Amino acid sequence: MTRRLLLAAAGAATLAPAARAQGDAAPWANRPIRLVVPFAAGGAADSAARAITPVMAQRLGQTIVVENRTGAGGSVGGGAVAAAAPDGHTLLWDASSHLVNPALMRGLPFDYAAFTPVSLVVTFPGVLAVKRDVPARTVAEFVALARARPGAISVGTQGNATAGHMGLLQFCKRAGIEVIHAPYRGGADAARDLAAGAIDAAFITTVSAGPIVDSGRARFLAVATLQRVPSRPDVPTLAESGYPGFESNEWAALFGPPGLPASIVGALHAALATALADEGVRQRLAQIGAVPVGSPPEEFARFVREGREQMAALVQEAGIRLD
């Protein structure tokens, strides 16, 4: 969302203390901890959770059970955690939809603003990619092409009101262009159609677009991160391509139910920091294109507040509605 918040958070994972012995359990954790993931098993967010939780569980001295509760844009899983006791045994692993859903969904039986922020755990870098026969090899050339053909260039995203969709809206606004938004049911589906030539471009994640770029069926134009992605060092950022400060990433974060005590928040963050400092965990995250963050609770709380305001304004301005 904002450069200041993510820069403040970026080094947090490297500051983790050494892992405690396995028997040094958190005193409140007296039974298995349920981590509700409101997304399908096998996706990037789910995979990141499963890479991190074993080390967290070792530090906390309790098993962490990942439970996929999908449906209604993530609100089914959110509702399950909102109704849970604030004792640290039920947690939520959510993504950017956490900020967008309040602006899109009316009549929810819970308040997204009431969740207790623990940490922004990882990000999944966004990227602008084009099919191989699009005559644009830079962002400037893509913008010029879109301006010459207003409303004719199709750009796929992970879906309506996703991080990719919101990033695309922000980019189009700053570039002064109009494109056709093509929402899919995930980044993999958008990448498949980009490779087949069914759409002209995609604003998805590097992990979704990477395989088709590596196969020569598409090209990266720019990543939507503040710095270049280590796994793609030759791909410029949108910030250095004429859009300073531009950033749009998918992410996964840890929340507690409303009213989670600060002592438990602190213990969870310490366990998370230990996990993110673990070399094996970092290798597994790199394999799925996740960048560790591990922001402290207070920084993440501000990230959530500011992000919710930004997304609400963008949803209203763009007139976004649920499909």
pLDDT at 43: 81
* Full-model pTM: 0.84
User: Is the pLDDT reported for residue 44 higher than 90?
Assistant: no
DSSP assigned state of 186:
S
Q: Is there a single domain that holds both residue 102 and residue 194? A: no
What token pair was written down for 275? Answer: 């996990």
Q: Is there a single domain that holds both residue 102 and residue 144? A: no
% of the chain residues with pLDDT over 90: 78
Q: Is there a single domain that holds both residue 105 and residue 151? A: no
Length of the chain in terms of residues written: 323
Measure the CA–CA gap between 148 and 200, rounded to whole angstroms.
Answer: 15
Taking only the tens place, the pLDDT of each residue in 23-33 is 456 788 899 99
Q: How confident is the model at residue 9 (pLDDT cuts 50, 70, 90)?
A: very low
Which domain does 168 fall in, by range?
A: 124-241
- 276 occurs within a structural domain: yes
Question: Average pLDDT for residues 103-132, to the nearest whole number?
Answer: 95
CATH of the domain at 85: 3.40.190.150
Tell me how many domains the chain contains: 2
Q: Which residue has the tokens 């909102």?
A: 82
pLDDT at 318: 85
Q: Is there a single domain that holds both residue 11 and residue 95? A: yes
Q: Is there a single domain that holds both residue 79 and residue 186? A: no
What token pair was written down for 238? Answer: 């949108």
Q: How confident is the model at residue 323 (pLDDT cuts 50, 70, 90)?
A: low
- 323 occurs within a structural domain: no
For 165, phi then psi, to 5°, come to -65, -45
User: Is the pLDDT reported for residue 245 higher than 80?
Assistant: yes
pLDDT at 262: 97
- 182 occurs within a structural domain: yes
Taking only the tens place, the pLDDT of each residue in 45-56 is 999 999 999 999
User: Is the pLDDT reported for residue 3 higher than 80?
Assistant: no
pLDDT at 25: 61
